[in-house]
Amino acid sequence: MNVLVIDDNEQNRYLLRFLLEARGHRVSEAHDGPQGIASVQTEMPDMVLLDIQLPGMDGYAVARALRTVPQFDAMPIIAVTSFALNGDRGRVLAAGCDDYIEKPIDPDSFCIQVEAAHEMGSTRKNTAA
């Protein structure tokens, strides 16, 4: 699977890359929203892991922007965020994300969660076709 990680924190990007590459996935990175949107358009990833607390253009805006492009409609977007207050999950899903993984992540289960979300996205994509 080709995964794009959009996160402004270098340590977070490193950890996600390390875990995903250890499972055989390809990982590309973007450090902010505009760079992430551009990367999606050029790299066509299978999935986006999206931080919500990005400088300038937050993750909600990134998800909404990606969902306006029909070719990205079925691409899973997973929020990986420290937002964990009541209602945050609903806001993330309403913005266009398919799932939500809370930070700090659990290294033992993170890739399993990501792979499960990818499978759900693949099922949705095949059903829509």
We report the CATH number of the domain holding residue 84 as 3.40.50.2300
Give residue 70's pLDDT: 92
Give residue 122's pLDDT: 60
**Residue 45 reports pLDDT greater than 80:** yes
- β-pairing verdict for 47-50 and 77-81: parallel
Give residue 125's pLDDT: 52
- β-pairing verdict for 99-102 and 2-6: unpaired
Count of structural domains within the chain:
1
pLDDT confidence bin for 51, thresholds 50/70/90: very high
- 4-20: b (≥16 Cβ within 10 Å) or e: bbbbbeeebbebbbebb
Give residue 113's pLDDT: 94
Cα separations in angstroms, 91 against 39, 80, 96, 106? 24, 13, 9, 22
**Residue 108 reports pLDDT greater than 70:** yes
- Domain hosting 20: range is 2-128
This prediction's pTM: 0.92
